[in-house]
Amino acid sequence: MLFKDLNIIEPILKAVEEAGYEKPTPIQEKSIPRILEGRDILGCAQTGTGKTAAFSIPVLQNMVKSKKNNDRRRSIQTLIVAPTRELAIQIGENFTTYSKHLNIKNTVIFGGVNQSSQVRKLTAGVDVLISTPGRLLDLQNQGYVDLKNVKYFVLDEADRMLDMGMIHDVKRIIAKLPKERQNLLFSATMPKEVTKLVNSILKNKVKVEVEAVSSTVEVISQGAYMVAKKDKKSMLVNLLRDETIKSVIVFSRTKHGANKIAKDLNNVGIDATAIHGNKSQNQRQLALKNFKKGSLRVLVATDIAARGIDVDELSHVINYDLPDVPETYVHRIGRTGRAGRDGVAITLCDSEELGMFRRIEKLIGKAIPILGQEEFEIKESIIAEKSLKQADKQKNSSNKNSKRKYYGKGKTQGSRNKNSKFNSGKAKSVNNIY
């Protein structure tokens, strides 16, 4: 199927073509016709499936069709609420791309920055408002946001709003909207609270589902290195020495950890910047901008900061730490392998993280290949052989290898440290492993 088969109007078709899209993704194929019909949608899809275009394109078209000739002043007709600033900004960029040949203006508002430039844009008049919940309520209470003309309401990543304690704000926003409107709600998972929300806002809904949360990872090559905590740093450095890694997000569980990783990398001459909740919005934006345009190769991020980040051509994700919950692993690795592209996700797992590693494997329904195992086994047999010869020669001397600590399935971490390519400073091309 092609975009033109979806009855999309010429100016939007042209913009989509200019964006380089050849055909609609499954979520677009399923959602666009129903949204054009005016139906409420419950979309079960996560970032990376093309869902932003799945709602932006038909909403823009519906706006064009419902525009009256006597509409002189702009007023907010479409309201999109998203959980994070980064995601809101990305949705705004998408709207700008698809509305390039239309007379429709959007703006994005979010907290953590001075409100004055946002207020200026709102006062000048916008047709589409994209916002995080807190700032929206704030500016609405101050009288800068008028929601009485909203006809299209999009709630993106509802499950993450729940995680981030924003669901009450969302309910407050919904209470301020006109009763007559089209509702589009997207959520990767459907926890109880979200189901309640869905039932309270969607009327006569159509459910549109693409892949379950654990299956979007199919196009991503995954692998893990079993490594002692103290060796993670040198392992990461060696992995990043591989020039075939063009752009990579390194995930850290904590803000402090992210800072430390970035600092350690900088110390060995690898340019890296950390983003997390303690960085100012300007620092976060600058790092993301540089990362997206390719002038920054390594971004070290916590999970909150990385939510929804969409970077074209992101080749690798490295989990320096395992996340706190298995679902986060899926979200993390979903930063790569987007819109059908290949991606590589590498996890550094230490012995304390093995339990979480197994829970992740259970969630995604498959074993994550352990990398470096083959070279490790060859080295192991060489060591064993050497030890035998040594034992023959020095019958009375003690065998140092017997003191090696066990790690994993009968493998010894001590010998891995001494003998793996990573610890001898020669990183194998990660791409070659896949």
Q: Is 25 in the site for ligand AMP (CB under 6 A)?
A: yes
Contacts of 424 (CB under 8 A, 6+ apart): none
Choose, by CB under 6 A, the member of 30, 36, 44, 47 that binds ligand AMP: 47
Encoded amino acid at 340, one letter: G
Per the CB < 8 A criterion, the answer to whether 396 and 309 are in contact is: no
Instruction: Report residue 9: phi and psi, to 5°.
Output: -70, 155
Q: Coil, strand or helix: which one is 320?
A: coil
Alpha carbons 320 and 347: distance in angstroms, whole number: 6
Exposed (0-12), middle (13-18) or buried (19+): which is 228, by Cβ within 10 Å? middle
Choose, by CB under 6 A, the member of 11, 48, 83, 372 that binds ligand AMP: 48
**Residue number, nearest CB to ligand AMP:** 52
On the CB side of 399, CA atoms within 13 Å amount to 15
Tokens representing residue 327 in the block: 């679902």
Choose, by CB under 6 A, the member of 11, 43, 50, 372 that binds ligand AMP: 50
Site string for ligand AMP, 281-310 (x = CB under 6 A): -----------------------------x
Tokens representing residue 353 in the block: 């993280």
Which residue's CB is nearer to ligand AMP, number 218 or number 271? Answer: 218
Alpha carbons 233 and 321: distance in angstroms, whole number: 11
Alpha carbons 1 and 10: distance in angstroms, whole number: 17
Q: Is 92 in the site for ligand AMP (CB under 6 A)?
A: no
Choose, by CB under 6 A, the member of 15, 44, 53, 63 that binds ligand AMP: 53
Name the residue among 121, 188, 118 with its Cα closest to residue 331. 188
Binders of ligand AMP in range 332-371 (CB under 6 A): 338-339
Q: Is 24 in the site for ligand AMP (CB under 6 A)?
A: yes
Rounded to a whole number of angstroms, the minimum distance from the CB of residue 310 to ligand AMP is 4
Choose, by CB under 6 A, the member of 8, 15, 21, 238 that binds ligand AMP: 21
Which residue's CB is nearer to ligand AMP, number 216 or number 413? Answer: 216
Q: Alpha helix locations (H) across 125-211?
A: 133-141, 158-163, 167-175, 192-201
Which residue's CB is nearer to ligand AMP, number 156 or number 350? Answer: 156
Choose, by CB under 6 A, the member of 312, 313, 324, 385 that binds ligand AMP: 312
Which residue's CB is nearer to ligand AMP, number 20 or number 269? Answer: 20
Site string for ligand AMP, 150-189 (x = CB under 6 A): ----------------------------------------
Per CB under 6 A, residues contacting ligand AMP are 21, 24-25, 28, 47-53, 310, 312, 338-339
